[in-house]
Chains A and B, each alone.
Chain A
Amino acid sequence: MTLAISHLARRFGATQVLRGIDLQVRQGELIALLGPSGSGKTTLLRIIAGLDWPDAGTLSFDGADWLGKSAAERRIGFVFQHYALFPHMTVRDNIAFGLSVLPRSERPGKTQIAATVDRLLAFLQIGGLADRYPAELSGGQRQRVALGRAMAIEPRVLLLDEPFGALDAQVRRDLRRWLRGVHDSAGTTTIFVTHDQEEAFELADRVVVMNGGVIEQTGQPDEIYDHPATPFVARFLGLTVELPVTMRAGRAHAAGLDLAALPRRAIPDGPATLFLRPADILPVPDPQAPFRVAEMATTGALLRIVAEDGTGCRIESEVPRRDGRDLRQGQPVALRAVAGQIFPGSGQQPAQPIHTPMTLKEARP
């Protein structure tokens, strides 16, 4: 275990931004802090970096307390969302900056610094850009330079704030794979912040889902995707269909729904809420069922179907277009759930309250 965080709390004025964060990061791990705006993920990253300090809690690295240390003493690499490259320096000077500000006694010689920079330029595949200024680079190139500048000081932990937030979709995907490659060959412990679940799941060894200043769930991408631990995580990961069900002997029941595919759950009998992804719902023609196909629209590969019962309950599902060939507008259908998550309590009162307004942007000091 390298980085240990416990009971971390931070308040900006009346807003409690972090409310007790516990997290352990192992050497060489690639961690994603995933959450909506205002979930506190950037604040957590800045506290780890030493750009901000908590009101309570502890932060230590390899057993040594980090809260008493400045950002420089911690030797972290921080990559800002908008890169914060030095506009008056060439790419080479930007990357060399961390080495050139070392105290004279520790500072490597000029040739040694140049060699380190050349090695990094080659490693990051930006060798041809060495003498350009940041204004002459594209967004993706700036991102690589920013990473190179942070890696030049051989940081103990690499911290990236929304690393791909300012890039367009294609560059994002390329850079994502590239960053995974860089991490795998450099082996630096890396933590990055994102609000994009695809990004988090593709890149990270472990994803930390945050909301309202608390960690909702920590786990490997598949684990979180298949087994969201809280209603918030379920909603955030696209389980947007919420249905009231009744639990009996560990199984969920509801009129017109075929829930036999769901595993038994240790949830007491009574009302519960079922969370489903539209893609995990299959409408099956059934003359006895209360649902009717109200809308059908194609996206090319998928068929988007809205089923409606008489009471105004509308359920959206997505099926491959081929599987929906037999469906017609107005046809009675039963809905078969292929996979889903059940939480005790009725949908109107979520088992765990969602505390943070989603619009709240992390306040900055």
Chain B
Amino acid sequence: MMPAATPATLAPRQDRRAPLLLIGLAVALTLFIVVVPLAYIFWRALSQGFAVFAQNIMAPDTLHAIWLTTVVAVITLPINLVVGISAAWLIARFTFPGRKLLLTIIELPFSISPIIAGVCYLLLYGRQGLLGPTLAAGDIKILFALPGIVLVTLFVTGPFVAREVLPLMQAQGSEQEQAALTLGASGWQVFRRVTLPNIRWALLYGAVLATARAVGEFGAVSVVSGAIRGQTNTLPLQIELLFNDLNIVGAFAAASTLTLIALVVLVLKTIIEGRTR
């Protein structure tokens, strides 16, 4: 409990030092763990003036990395939404053999290191991999190309939507949907007018988390993309590349872009949430 704003006259006098110390500690930790590093990114990116910053952002390879990252996010988001909602709906509304297994599979990516996912895909789709010869015969390129990046990103971001939506669906039960059915609504009408509005905030939250992760994923993508400059380099990979090239301003410029995307997403979510009751 928070102490009252104006303590009652007869309330026992409290020692104010312990709370102040704890609050100070929290502020200091937040400052040095979150705020300062973030601010430092922008400070370093702009250290040689905005012109140099803009020039670095507009470098073709960096621009392509931004583009590729956006494409990956745009492809994975709708897939994540559809699969996430379907899986959550299936688990929340039905009992069937394998239901527990499905739940475990959905959560699996959370507990597996992304780099392992990358290696698995490499072993499966790589030239020496299980499906390698078949894919090569069909002239289908998955690794070191967009499909591979999209696949590992899907693997890594898969749990977010289902994980956010499922608890809500389970808590709400199916009575509202049954009520809509008795009132004559079709399956699609039930989903669009009853199910979806009920889960929309959890859905949005899951989508934001999944997108943030898709944009920022490094480990899994670094294994399967091959990091070909201007071709299969996503933004996080590009940052590492620039950093290793000792192009500090370039690395921080790219990093500031990534950070900006994250901040914009965060602000958007807060605004939208604030507008609803």
Chain A residues near B (Cβ < 8 Å): 49-51, 70-72, 75-78, 80, 82, 84-88, 97-98, 101-102, 149-150, 152-153
Of the listed stretches B26-34, B136-144, B171-179, B263-271, name the one at the interface; the rest are far from the partner chain.
Answer: B171-179
B259 within 8 A of A: no
Chain B, range 175-220, C-beta contacts under 8 Å to A: 175-176, 178-186, 189, 193-194, 197-198
A-B CB contact pairs (8 Å), 28 listed:
A51-B178, A51-B182, A70-B181, A71-B181, A71-B182, A72-B182, A72-B185, A75-B184, A78-B178, A78-B179, A78-B182, A80-B175, A80-B178, A84-B175, A84-B178, A86-B193, A86-B194, A88-B197, A97-B183, A97-B193, A101-B183, A101-B185, A102-B184, A149-B183, A150-B182, A150-B183, A153-B183, A153-B184
Tell me the nearest residue of chain B to A93, going by C-beta.
B193
- Pair A82/B175 contact, Cβ less than 8 Å: yes
- Interface bits B19-50 vs A (CB < 8 Å: 1, else 0): 00000000000000000000000000000000
Q: Which 5 A-B pairs have the closest CB atoms?
A: A98-B183, A84-B175, A101-B185, A84-B179, A72-B184
Which residues of chain A have C-beta atoms less than 8 A from B178's C-beta?
A: 51, 71, 78, 80, 84
Q: Counting chain A CB atoms within 10 Å of each CB, which of B180, B183, B186, B194 scores highest?
A: B183
A231 to chain B, nearest CB (A): 36
Task: State the main secondary structure of chain A at its contact with B.
Answer: loop
A192 to chain B, nearest CB (A): 15
- Pair B184/A101 contact, Cβ less than 8 Å: yes
Which residues of chain A have C-beta atoms less than 8 A from B183's C-beta?
A: 72, 97-98, 101, 149-150, 152-153
Q: Roughly how many angstroms separate A45 CA and B182 CA in the complex, as a whole number?
A: 13
Q: Roughly how many angstroms separate A82 CA and B174 CA in the complex, as a whole number?
A: 12
Q: Counting chain B CB atoms within 10 Å of each CB, which of A71, A72, A84, A86 scores highest?
A: A84
Tell me the nearest residue of chain B to A51, going by C-beta.
B178
- Pair B193/A87 contact, Cβ less than 8 Å: no
- Pair A84/B176 contact, Cβ less than 8 Å: yes
Tell me the nearest residue of chain B to A87, going by C-beta.
B198
Q: Roughly how many angstroms separate A85 CA and B177 CA in the complex, as a whole number?
A: 10
- Pair A76/B186 contact, Cβ less than 8 Å: no
- Pair A80/B179 contact, Cβ less than 8 Å: yes
Which residues of chain B have C-beta atoms less than 8 A from A50's C-beta?
A: 182
- Interface bits B153-187 vs A (CB < 8 Å: 1, else 0): 00000000000000000000001101111111110
Tell me the nearest residue of chain B to A49, going by C-beta.
B182
B199 to chain A, nearest CB (A): 10
- Pair B182/A97 contact, Cβ less than 8 Å: no
Q: Roughly how many angstroms separate A50 CA and B183 CA in the complex, as a whole number?
A: 12
One of A51, A85, A101 near B189 (C-beta < 8 A): A101
Which residues of chain A have C-beta atoms less than 8 A from B184's C-beta?
A: 72, 75, 98, 101-102, 153
Q: Roughly how many angstroms separate A75 CA and B181 CA in the complex, as a whole number?
A: 10
Which residues of chain A have C-beta atoms less than 8 A from B193's C-beta?
A: 86, 97, 101
